[in-house]
Amino acid sequence: MNMQTKHTADATTVEEGLAIAEAQDRLYNDEMATETAMANTLLTPRFYTTDFDELDAIDVSGVREDWDKLIAQMEADPNRGHFKKNEDWDTVDWDGMDPDLKKEFIDFLISSCTAEFSGCVLYKEMKRRGNNKDITQLFQLMARDEARHAGFINDALREAGLRVNLGFLTQKKKYTYFRPKFIYYATYLSEKIGYARYITIFRHLEAHPEHRFHPIFKWFREWCNDEFSHGEAFALLMKTDPKLTQSATNKLWIKFFLTAVYATMYVRDHQRPAFHKALGVDPDWYAHEVFTKTSELSEQIFPLTLDIDHPKWQPTLEALQKANVDLADAVENKQAMKKIGAQLRAAKSFATLFFIPSKKNVVPENTRLEPVY
């Protein structure tokens, strides 16, 4: 293990991670990876900012018992030593990898790294701006985890001669403003769906190790437990104010975010056929599996779940995905009419998904869950 690898994996604070990233800038110049991470489209991971004062004003005393347990668990830091390459990290034959697979896998790593880092930047900013001890403590712990996750993926990318310039991303990527309640819905969901995605791949490869074409998948189980805890924290934050999940308007917003997050995942994953083939995973099966797990988990706090078994659900997702392929094609070939047609079809498909009646859910008294998949 070289020193840089060790340092990155050891980084426990974002500041350290950023300092290392800056030092690495002098050693690597990987414009391609950073450009990919910089791209802002509907489908690429975004950077967020919010009303930090409103977040700082949250009073967690109503959920104190669960809160303290969760924080104690995160402070104990069971994954302190996890994000390091060890003897389980097999040599990766990047040069011998099928070119389509290599391209899609790198795209997967870059977009995962960007998503992890986007969480890190948001959490760190909350920690920096807040005065509320409960809130700043939680966000510091979550930023620590996301910095490790992003750093570890960057380590994997470096072996392929690439690296996402995290320091540059922080300064230059566009930030999208979301009101705090939208941050809760979106971030809660992205943490829980992140958990469901990582654990589904991990369990699948446990049963079919011959498909494990890269060692990073071996790290997914402990990794997804971090995401699980982050999701638990957001569930508790939402629980402090019942209006957030019970008012009629907010129920619609929750349905909107569920639909957007599920649809985005479906479309994005279908852009990587070679990657899923190498994993031995049918992306339709995978999507359904991840949606099922995420829906079950989100019943801890959301008053509704999407009806993913409704007869219109799967065909409409497929239509949305097809519209997205046509849209990308029209943009590439500068076909204005085709582009408008594809956008309209995509919007119509999204609306169809959104208006499928959802299933009511009675939120349990005790929201806390443990990772069981």
Q: What are the residues binding Fe ion (CB under 5 A)?
A: 116, 146, 149, 191, 227, 230
Beta bridge partners of 360: 304
Nearer to Fe ion, 83 or 302 (CB): 83
Closest CA to 312 of 358, 251, 369: 358
Residue 181 CB, shortest distance to Fe ion, in Å, is 19
CA distance 53 to 132: 10
Whether the CB-CB separation of 361 and 304 falls below 8 Å is answered with yes
Q: How far apart are CA 70 and CA 76, in angstroms?
A: 10
Place of tokens 């490790």: 148
Q: With respect to Fe ion, which residue has the nearer C-beta, 126 or 308?
A: 126
Residue 225 CB, shortest distance to Fe ion, in Å, is 10
Quote the CA–CA distance of 210 and 28 in Å, as a whole number. 33
Q: Which is nearer to Fe ion, 180 or 231 (CB)?
A: 231
- The residue among 79 and 324 lying less far from Fe ion, judged by its C-beta, is 79
Residue whose CB is less far from Fe ion, 24 or 229: 229
- To Fe ion, the closest distance from the beta carbon of 53 in angstroms equals 23
Q: Shortest gap between Cβ of 67 and Fe ion (angstroms)? A: 17
β-partners of residue 257 are none
State the minimum distance, in angstroms, from the CB of residue 226 to Fe ion.
6
CA distance 330 to 366: 49
**Residue type for 322, please?**
K
User: For Fe ion, which is the closer residue by CB, 134 or 146?
Assistant: 146
Q: How far is the CB of 116 from Fe ion (least distance, A)?
A: 4
Q: How far is the CB of 292 from Fe ion (least distance, A)?
A: 21
Nearer to Fe ion (CB atom), residue 146 or residue 326 = 146
Q: Please give the structure tokens belonging to residue 239.
A: 């629980």
Report, in Å, the least distance between residue 9 CB and Fe ion. Answer: 14
H-only helix segments in the chain: 3-10, 14-25, 31-38, 52-56, 64-76, 99-129, 133-159, 166-172, 180-207, 220-239, 243-246, 248-269, 273-279, 283-298, 313-332, 336-355
Angle of helix 248-269 relative to helix 313-332, nearest 10 degrees, comes to: 60
Pull the structure tokens for residue 371: 């990772």
Q: Give the separation between CA 183 and CA 171, rounded to whole angstroms.
A: 21
Q: Which is nearer to Fe ion, 268 or 270 (CB)?
A: 268
